[in-house]
Amino acid sequence: MRTSWWRPEAEAAAQPSGHPLEESGAGGDVDRSLLEPISGWSDELIQALPTPIYTTDAEGRLTSYNEAAVAFWGCRPELGSSEFCGSWRLYWPDGRPMPHDEWPVALALESRRPIRGVEAIAERPDGTRVPFVPYPTPLFDASGRLIGAVNLLVDISERKRVEQSLARHRDEQAALYRFTDRLYRSTTLEDVYQAALDAMRESLGCERASILLFDDAGVMRFVAWRGLSEGYRKAVEGHSPWGPDVRDPEPIHIADVRAADLPSDLRSVINAEGIEALAFIPLVARGRLIGKFMTYRDAPHTFSDAEIGLSLTIARQLGFSIERARAEEERHRAEQTSRLLASIIENSNDSVVSKDLDGIVTSWNHGAERMYGYTAEEMLGRPFTALIPPQLRELEAAALQRVRRGEEPPPYESMRRRKDGSLLDVSVTISPVRDETGRVVGVSKIARDITESKQAQARQELLAREIQHRTKNLFAVVHSIVAKSFAGKQTVQEAEQAVVSRLHSLAQTHAMLVDKEWQGAELAEIVATEMSPFAERVSAAGPRVLLSAKAAQNFALALHELATNAAKYGALSGRNGRIHIAWDVDRAAGAFTFQWLEQGGPPVTPPGRKGFGSVVLEQVMAEYGDEAPQMEFDPRGASYRVKGRLGAVEPPHET
């Protein structure tokens, strides 16, 4: 056995009292024979290691290295000549050049201590750069004399890529949250357009983008844009891959304009604008195509699945918000029209009523008959307060008092009671009626039924709040998935795969619920979506069950975990395995049962450890059962069952 060339006790005994070079004779040559044990040891060991490793003498000159180091450096440095490292150049993580005397091995030799917790970037002769973590350790002989150093290099390129991917995902989600918040606060269509253009830039990285909507003639026209010339807009306005009547249009992505099959005149216009790649994303509201938004790239660009998903998310929220803003502007226009009406119009579709200063009805038009259900004969000479709910009569009395003083109250919203007892929302405009001398002798009231618009407004506001609330909840779920998916994973790649697959499942359910305006989702649809990759090997049966938004999300996560486990270890890991999914409802008893059964796979054994999937299946799903969910690992196939209250999974019923 060779004499040990690195012992911790030797390192401790070798701590210098003066300059590090004093122990070997500053300025003198190192005895090369002292390095022979190192070289001999390295020849036998380090060449077999897949990790880059090399040794130096006490002055930092390279004495040996393995082939893994050659591959890492991209070159084969000269032994006894190259100092401290075989890399072409080294940089700090922020890109600053690293001075030669601050290279990790140089610091380890100077301080006679191992250097840990340092990251650096190595540059190869071909210009490529590799982030890595060095582990330089000084070497001492049996007498405690410094004879060199050994350095192990760990390539962290993959880890950096995963970190950047996660950071990019967080940034995208943050951009979507800001977009949702701005839409919720927007009051005009222009506010909506600018929020969407900002979201495209922040989440998709597009400095140039545009929004086009169909006009009344069915022509697609620009309504907002960034970074496009006037000449380009005029040349392409009206071009659209879809007509107004197209149902369920799909996004179109052109990765390279020069290679695309486009009309020559359109291609020349696009090339002149410096556009190399572009995407058409349809805008749909209430199931109807209303326009599109477009993103442009200055270089060829392959659109990733993540970018396409983000684009569709932006499009859904943009289409909804455009419809909401249009409805709001229409409401304002209707109110303005009401304020301009100054006289009684007998055949108006609105209720146009006049009364004296004591509140007694003196005229009643056909619009009032249709709106309230009373004929003129039934109302003339009666107090108008018969139509006003008791809690609102003080408001009417105050408005009448202002008219008596010659004032014209501003329009307001109120409620009226019809002849059949039902209530309706109305927008009311009051104007004084004057005689020939200018004296106020009565009041004219124009009332418009706004019940439907009020309901639509309340629904839109509820949906906007729901989107904002659900987005915040989504961040919490994403954070939990990312945090717990790394637990127990052996590699970064394994952890990344778990995170991405779970977030994809969550995104599918989120998109489904957005499309359904957060009213819930069918269990059968969730099963079909989650099991689509294995559709030919899955049977599913059960009655119609509408799940609440929260239950839909949790059942989707549970199905994802069950399918993932089956694909890795269970029935879906072999050729002949099958999955049977069934659920049942007993509405009389208010009971609900969900079952999962695997057959035909390899023999099943219980898992050795529990991870995020167990948390979902045992703890999260426990919310829907009267008893703990049952996960059994029969050798013939795993099974899972949730049995509980129907009311726990269905949306709450309005009363």
Element of type H or E holding 25: none
State mean pLDDT over 130-152.
94
Burial class (CB in 10 A: 0-12, 13-18, 19+), 178: middle
Q: What one-character-per-residue DSSP string does 552-605 give?
A: HHHHHHHHHHHHHHHHHTSGGGSSS-EEEEEEEEETTTTEEEEEEEEESSSPP-
Flag whether pLDDT at 479 surpasses 80.
Answer: no
Query: 565 and 638 in contact (C-beta within 8 Å)?
Result: yes
Query: 84 and 93 in contact (C-beta within 8 Å)?
Result: no
Bridge partners of 453?
A: none
Question: Which structure tokens are listed for 267?
Answer: 């291609």
| Predicted confidence (pLDDT) per residue in 360-381, tens digit | 888 889 888 888 889 888 888 8
Each as own residue / partner, the long-range contacts of residues 430-437 (CB below 8 Å, 24 or more positions apart, any chain) are 430/399, 430/403, 431/341, 431/342, 432/403, 432/406, 432/407, 432/408, 433/354
Give me the pLDDT at residue 300, please: 92
Question: Which structure tokens are listed for 611?
Answer: 């991870």
State mean pLDDT over 423-440.
84
Q: Give the amino acid at 103.
A: W
HSE, CB side, 13 Å, CA atoms: give it for residue 410.
2
| Predicted confidence (pLDDT) per residue in 149-182, tens digit | 999 999 998 888 877 767 666 766 776 677 777 7
pLDDT band for 25, please (50, 70, 90 cuts).
very low
Query: 234 and 228 in contact (C-beta within 8 Å)?
Result: no
Q: What one-character-per-residue DSSP string does 255-319 give?
A: S-GGGS---HHHHHHHHHTT--EEEEEEEEETTEEEEEEEEEESS--PPPHHHHHHHHHHHHHHH
pLDDT band for 623, please (50, 70, 90 cuts).
confident
**Residue with the larger pLDDT of the pair 114 and 514:** 114
CA angle at 162 for the pair 158 and 166, rounded to the nearest 5°? 170
Instruction: Provide the strand spans (E) within 350-485.
Output: 351-356, 361-364, 412-417, 423-434, 440-449
State mean pLDDT over 407-436.
84
What average pLDDT is seen over the chain? 80
State mean pLDDT over 534-542.
92
Question: Which structure tokens are listed for 322?
Answer: 């455009």
- Count CB atoms within 10 A of the CB of residue 389: 12
Question: Which structure tokens are listed for 454?
Answer: 């009020």
State mean pLDDT over 596-605.
91
Flag whether pLDDT at 497 surpasses 60.
Answer: no
**Who's near 284: CB < 8 A, 6+ residues apart?**
249, 290, 315, 316, 319
Angstrom distance (rounded) from CA 270 to CA 585:
58
Q: How far is CA 197 from CA 249, 283, 360, in A?
A: 21, 14, 55
Give the length of the chain: 655
State mean pLDDT over 394-400.
81
Residue carrying structure tokens 């303005």: 336
Query: 114 and 6 in contact (C-beta within 8 Å)?
Result: no
Bridge partners of 62?
A: 56
Angstrom distance (rounded) from CA 70 to CA 63:
14
DSSP state of 481: H
Query: 339 and 345 in contact (C-beta within 8 Å)?
Result: no
- Count CB atoms within 10 A of the CB of residue 405: 8
Query: 277 and 311 in contact (C-beta within 8 Å)?
Result: no
- Count CB atoms within 10 A of the CB of residue 365: 21
Flag whether pLDDT at 2 surpasses 60.
Answer: no
Burial class (CB in 10 A: 0-12, 13-18, 19+), 122: buried
Give me the pLDDT at residue 200, please: 82
Angstrom distance (rounded) from CA 64 to CA 76:
11
Question: Measuring CA to CA, which residue among 414, 453, 222 is closest to residue 333?
Answer: 453
| Predicted confidence (pLDDT) per residue in 193-251, tens digit | 888 888 888 878 888 999 999 998 889 999 999 999 999 999 999 888 888 888 889 99
Q: Domains in the chain, ordered, with CATH?
A: 8-155 (3.30.450.20), 186-336 (3.30.450.40), 344-449 (3.30.450.20), 457-649 (3.30.565.10)
Query: 456 and 441 in contact (C-beta within 8 Å)?
Result: no
Of the listed ranges 298-312, 496-510, 563-577, 605-619, the one predicted with least confidence = 496-510
Flag whether pLDDT at 334 surpasses 90.
Answer: no
Flag whether pLDDT at 16 surpasses 60.
Answer: no
Helices 157-185 and 451-485: angle between axes, nearest 10 degrees: 160
Question: Which structure tokens are listed for 307?
Answer: 């970018």
Residue carrying structure tokens 């957005």: 514
Range among 222-226, 339-343, 384-388 with highest mean pLDDT value: 222-226
Give me the pLDDT at residue 596, please: 95
Element of type H or E holding 650: none
Q: Give the amino acid at 82.
A: S
